Amino acid sequence: MSAVVEMSVMEQVIHHLPALIIVLPLMIAPLCVIFRNRIVAWSLTAVTSGICAVIAACLLILVKNGAPIHYALGGWSSPSGIEYYIDISNALILLLVSSISTVVSVYSLHSVDQEIPREKHYLFYTAWLLCLTGALGIAITCDAFNVFVFLEISSLSTYLLIALGNERPHSFMASFRYLIMGSVGASFILLGIGFLYAATGTLNMQDLSERIPLVAESRTVIVAFAFITVGLLIKIAMFPVHNWLPNAYQYAPSAVSSFLAGTATKVSIYVLMRFMFDVFGTNYSFSQMLLSNVLMPLAVIGFILMSVVAIFQTDLRRLLAYSSIAQIGYIIAGVSMATQAGLSAAMIHIVNHGLIKSALFMATGCMLYRLGSVHIQSLRQLISSMPITVSAFAFGGISLIGLPLTAGFISKWNLITAALEKDWWWLAALILVSSILAVVYIGKVIQMTCFSPITTENNQSSGQVISEAPTLMWVSTWILLLASLYLGINSEDFVALTQQGANQVLGGFK
């Protein structure tokens, strides 16, 4: 009898996992305010993120071995109620976001202690959990208005996280610029959703996908399509509406830059994919509205031009920020192909770049922790005093370039293969050109940290003793790098999983 009861309880827990992954961080966040203790707030954040990662892994296993999950929130069935929808594509996003949050929150203990006054730590971790809630909610909801709600929860908490940076007034201005651009993007998205509701009378995304073809030629739907596309491109930081991102990544606390670099834009890209392929439909978005004719040129210009801009940066965080904009161009190029191979390549790069870029920002944070600056000239011969950190950055940089046996190589290989399938040899050639540019800006940093002689201006020659960052910081960095290495060496299952996810996205809601 007890075994039957235990099985029933377990089945109930599994059934409610889609709600639990959202409710848990949302309910734990106020506890950080109640306790107002930095260690308690940090512990709650790390443990909650870890539990969310376990739930995301369970959801990925469930949808991999079965059909997509439809969860009616509060028992109210769609389309009148709010529905959560999980398939392989967004289960990967859930796992990516929660895993990076777990690792970076562990990393944050020492960096936050140095960069943010202790009396504000509880506010920092409260905002972190709300940001995590918003990011997970964006990926899991099947309600168009809830996408906007979760987007604003994530954005509002992100503005606070960036403003808490210690490089004032730059942190305040970076947060304010992000607030302005984020609000413009959110307004476009909200107006687009409003127009969709006016045209169809529903907000459920699956229901929208069935009703939009009946009114697809109306001006209301066309305007909705344009507004949602522009709004999401702003949130994605797609060239040329990317201006908010460099300052946000440069002046935010190290842990925040590491978290956002691997998650924020990736979640918005997923939403773009879900709207374009499933809500509006592949044929409508890419054949009737000619979306590829807009996205592909912007993607190509973005990953070439932003790579060039990255070469001339003198601050390591800003260099990585422009590199992130270039990498977004790769992902959007895959999406623009509107094929299974292109979508699969985009998903691969979403995960791989998320892991690599978070690790690179974490390594940069380790340098900042000891040096107080990551101006590239201050990093001369840093390998002699911080070999573990410099090795981590070098390995992450090599993976970003895309050398064989790295996750970056798998991403670019699949993207080039997808381009050649469409006979777009020019795109494959431009991807290779951009990779060469990545060699230049990553090589510049490696050359400075490993081979440039120490000068009198360098911190290490002025009597300051430099040592490795605290163990938690560099261990966390290497955890993400080793995860990316695993995906680079044992990529078959991962690639097959993304191909299955791409087929689900192209096939619409099931």
- pLDDT tens digits, 398-428: 999 988 888 989 999 999 999 999 889 999 9
User: In this structure, are residues 411 and 353 in contact, taking their beta carbons and an 8 Å threshold?
Assistant: yes
- Which pair of structure tokens corresponds to residue 432? 């290779």
- Whether residue 349 is contained in a domain is answered as yes
- Whether residue 17 is contained in a domain is answered as no
For the chain, state the CA radius of gyration.
22
Tally of CA atoms within 13 A in the half-sphere of 25 that contains its CB:
34
- In the beta sheet, which residues pair with residue 83? 72
Q: What is the pLDDT along the chain (510 residues), one digit of tens a residue?
A: 555 555 577 777 787 889 999 999 999 999 999 998 899 999 999 999 999 999 999 999 999 887 888 888 877 777 777 889 999 999 999 999 999 999 999 999 999 988 888 889 999 999 999 999 999 999 999 899 999 999 999 999 999 999 988 777 888 899 999 999 999 999 999 999 999 999 998 898 989 988 999 888 889 999 999 999 999 999 999 988 888 899 999 999 999 999 999 898 999 999 999 999 999 988 998 988 888 999 999 999 999 999 999 999 999 999 999 999 999 999 999 999 989 999 999 999 999 999 999 999 999 999 999 888 888 888 888 888 889 999 999 999 999 998 888 898 999 999 999 999 988 999 999 999 999 999 999 999 999 888 877 765 554 444 566 788 889 999 999 999 999 999 988 888 899 999 999 998 888 776
Tally of CA atoms within 13 A in the half-sphere of 166 that contains its CB:
17
> Can you tell me the distance from the alpha carbon of 495 to that of 190, in angstroms, rounded to the nearest whole number?
34
Please report the pLDDT score of residue 81 as a whole number.
Answer: 79
- Which pair of structure tokens corresponds to residue 323? 């590199």
Which residue, among 375, 360, 365, 472, has the nearest Cα to 407 in the 3D structure?
Answer: 360
Contacts of residue 318, defined as CB under 8 A and 6 or more positions apart, other chains included, come to 246, 249, 250
- Whether residue 398 is contained in a domain is answered as yes
Please report the pLDDT score of residue 45 as a whole number.
Answer: 95
Q: How many domains does the chain have?
A: 1
pTM of the model: 0.93
Please report the pLDDT score of residue 15 as a whole number.
Answer: 77
Please report the pLDDT score of residue 455 as a whole number.
Answer: 63
Please report the pLDDT score of residue 275 as a whole number.
Answer: 93
* In the block, residue with structure tokens 């939403």: 271
Please report the pLDDT score of residue 462 as a whole number.
Answer: 47
Contacts 24+ apart (CB under 8 A), 409-414: 409/488, 410/348, 410/352, 410/487, 410/488, 410/491, 410/494, 410/495, 411/330, 411/345, 411/348, 411/349, 411/352, 411/353, 412/330, 412/349, 414/341, 414/344, 414/345, 414/348, 414/349, 414/495
Please report the pLDDT score of residue 76 as a whole number.
Answer: 77
Three-class SS of 183-196? HHHHHHHHHHHHHH
> Can you tell me the distance from the alpha carbon of 102 to that of 11, in angstroms, rounded to the nearest whole number?
26
Q: Which domain holds residue 479?
A: 332-510
By three-state DSSP, how is residue 502 classified?
A: helix
Sign of torsion, CA 35 39 40 44? positive
Tally of CA atoms within 13 A in the half-sphere of 33 that contains its CB:
11
